[in-house]
Amino acid sequence: MSMIAAFYGGKSILITGATGFLGKVLMEKLFRTSPDLKIIYILVRSKAGQTLQQRVFQILNSKLFENIKEICPNVHEKIRPISADLNQHDFGISKEDMEELLSSTNIIFHCAATVRFDDPLRHAVQLNVTATQQLLLMASQMPKLEAFIHLSTAFSNCNLKHIDEVIYPCSVEPKKIIDSMEWLDDAIIDEITPKLIGDRPNTYTYTKALGEIVVQQESENMNVAIIRPSIVGPTWQEPFPGWVDNLNGPSGIIIAAGKGFLRSIRATPTAVADLIPADTVVNLTLAAGWYTAVHRPKSTLIYHCTSGNLNPCNWLKMGLHVLATFEKVPFEKAFRRPNADFTTTNFTTHYWNAVSHRVPAIIYDCYLRLTGRKPRVLKLMNRLLRNISMLEYFINRSWEWSTHNTEMLMSVLSPEDQRIFNFDVRQLNWLEYIENYVLGVKKYLLKEDMAGIPEARQHLKRLRNIHYLFNIALFFIIWRLLVARWQMARNVWFFIVSFCYKFLSYFRASSTLKL
């Protein structure tokens, strides 16, 4: 019997961010391994014209939850969506709902966050710091609470090269930052943002670091743990390989490369691609929840959920295997043939951005204009390049994360729990994982049917022929211009023509002699 699965049985669990990428994988695993859990409360806001019920319905009817209805037939009754917006005071939760949450919750998994790198500081602080503080305040009023698990990121201290499983201080106390957001106006906040974030690359990593300090400061008498995943990739094994549902991390880049939009990217090929599968993160999170509640460690334990130190893969290996997988499973309606490379200097990056990205986009826009359509490719390309520039920080550096707590946790699990809640990334076969990643992007993000692969291949062949024709035409145009203007080019041209003529004459004469 799994101790972890048994622990969650009969429990009331509160999840924030349950509609997000990790939140959904977490809920699915909980229902699959502990179908006898009492209830999962999820804090949800209505979004894109959908009510809470519609959002829950959509999640439960998705491919990810395909098997859950069999394992846990009354899953609908076990999910209780609570209308909440983490940007509001008390999250805008009704009095009755709040009372129920306070009196019943046993475990909290705090996954909600803004993961956008370019969020204005005010918004990032509100969600990643102030909301965390408020949730801890709520948690402190829960008599039955056994554990509070906070999802942070391995990059919260990405300004350091070696990162230990400890909380590092920030130059300004989070409480002061929270207070200042109340009275400073947006213009001033924008002005001081670079000074506050210092040598971190964006407001996301900075506010996640502040969030951790808040957790440490406000969690007196509570059993708290912090999980720090690196770049969360699609599922590795469970409930099936390759599941992914957003464009974050490498997924958007894989689409852009597979569709032939992206032909080069500035990256350090030997830098570690510290990806970690979503199901691995969830397994560690659930194991940490169990350990925190049952063993009640004296201090807040931080768990690094990373792959680089145990089973490293670098960006070159990843890039090459992504490209190799495009050969096997091409994406439909590609703009150009997928063929990307890494650049390593400013000069080559700018050169290839102009030659391989902007020029083809301009040519295609001309074609759209000539055929009476609205040009849009250059705009899309510029946006893609801007977005990629925000990710560059993470693909040109390597970090070392110590994983003592994670290894300790693994060692205290029973063999059965090690199997059911596996987070031993040493067993990950990268080539298989990357292949499933590309397949998952095709199936679950692009919603492309595998039956369309022959047509996608035909399309790529047509693109290759167009590419050859275009190159030949370009060669002749350039040559023609050179011959018209330059005596040397004319001499070379006559030399080549006469050489070919002599060669052909000799060939014809020798074949006549043989006859």
Ligand X SMILES: NC(=O)C1=CN([C@@H]2O[C@H](COP(=O)(O)OP(=O)(O)OC[C@H]3O[C@@H](n4cnc5c(N)ncnc54)[C@H](OP(=O)(O)O)[C@@H]3O)[C@@H](O)[C@H]2O)C=CC1
Which residues of the chain form contacts with ligand FFI (CB under 6 A)?
A: 115-118, 153, 155, 231, 247-250, 252-257, 265, 315, 318-320, 322-323, 340-342, 383, 387, 390-391, 394-395
- Residue 113 binding result from ligand FFI, ligand X, none, given CB thresholds of 5 to 8 Å by partner type: ligand X
Q: Toward ligand X, which CB reaches closer, 281 or 381?
A: 281
Residue 105 touches which member of ligand FFI, ligand X, none, C-beta under 5-8 Å by kind: none
Residue 19's binding partner out of ligand FFI, ligand X, none, with CB under 5 to 8 Å set by partner kind:
ligand X
Q: Which is nearer to ligand X, 2 or 105 (CB)?
A: 105
Burial (CB < 10 A; 0-12, 13-18, 19+), residue 508, is exposed
> What is the nearest approach in angstroms of ligand FFI to the Cβ of residue 251?
8
Q: Residue 421: phi, psi to the nearest 5?
A: -115, 55
CB 416 within 8 A of CB 2: yes
Q: For residues 32 and 123, which CB has a smaller minimum distance to ligand X in the complex?
A: 123
Task: Give the DSSP letter string of 249-302.
Answer: THHHHHHHHHTTS--EEE--TTSB--EEEHHHHHHHHHHHHHHHHHH--SS-EE
Nearest residue to 401 (alpha-carbon basis) of 149, 113, 128, 153: 153
Tell me: does residue 214 bind ligand X (CB under 6 A). no
Nearest approach in angstroms of CB 61 to ligand FFI is 21
> Is 127 one of the binding residues for ligand X (CB under 6 A)?
yes
Residue 3 partner contact from ligand FFI, ligand X, none using kind-dependent CB cut-offs of 5 to 8 Å: none
**Residues in a beta bridge with 44:** 83
Q: How far is the CB of 195 from ligand X (least distance, A)?
A: 23
- Residue 318 binds which entry of ligand X, ligand FFI, none, with Cβ cut-offs from 5 to 8 Å by kind? ligand FFI
Using CB under 6 A as the binding rule, whether residue 406 contacts ligand X is answered as no
Residue from the set 39, 64, 86, 265 that interacts with ligand X by CB under 6 A: 86
The count of C-alpha atoms lying within 13 angstroms of the C-alpha of 490, restricted to the half-sphere facing its C-beta, is 4
Nearer to ligand FFI, 29 or 263 (CB): 263
Q: How far apart are CB 20 and ligand FFI at their closest, in Å?
A: 10
Report helix, strand and coil shares of the chain as percent, to nearest 5. 60, 10, 30
Return d(Cα 206, Cα 198) in angstroms, integer.
9
Q: Which stretch binds ligand X (CB under 6 A): 242-250, 262-270, 307-315, 405-413?
A: 242-250
Compare residues 8 and 204 and give the one whose CB is closer to ligand FFI: 204
| Residue given tokens 């008390």 in the structure block | 90
Return the residue nearest ligand FFI (CB atom).
319
Map residue 150 onto helix, strand or coil.
strand
Where does 353-452 have alpha helices with state H? 359-370, 377-395, 404-412, 415-420, 430-440
Residue closest to ligand X when measured from CB atoms:
20
- What sign does the CA torsion over 398, 402, 406, 408 have? positive
Cβ count near 496 (within 10 Å): 10
Binding mask 129-168 for ligand X (x = CB under 6 A): ----------------------x-x---------------
**45 interface partner picked from ligand X, ligand FFI, none, CB below 5 to 8 A per type:** ligand X
**Total residues belonging to the chain:** 515
Question: CB within 8 A of 58, min separation 6: which ones?
Answer: 50
Site string for ligand X, 96-115 (x = CB under 6 A): ---------------xxxxx
End-to-end CA distance of the chain: 88
Q: Single out the residue of 231, 254, 287, 441 in contact with ligand X (rule: CB under 6 A).
A: 231
- Backbone dihedral angles phi then psi of residue 417, each to the nearest 5 degrees: -65, -35
CB 242 within 8 A of CB 278: no
Q: In whole angstroms, what is the distance from residue 406 CA to residue 399 CA?
A: 17
234 binds, among ligand X, ligand FFI, none (CB under 5 to 8 A by kind): none
- Strand extents, DSSP E, 133-254: 147-151, 162-163, 224-229, 231-233
Which residue's CB is nearer to ligand X, number 349 or number 405?
405
> Does 27 contact ligand X by CB under 6 A?
no
Residue 330, binding choice from ligand X, ligand FFI, none, Cβ under 5 to 8 Å by partner class: none
**Interface residues with ligand X (CB under 6 A)?**
17, 19-23, 43, 45, 47, 84-87, 111-115, 127, 151, 153, 208, 229, 231-232, 246, 248-249
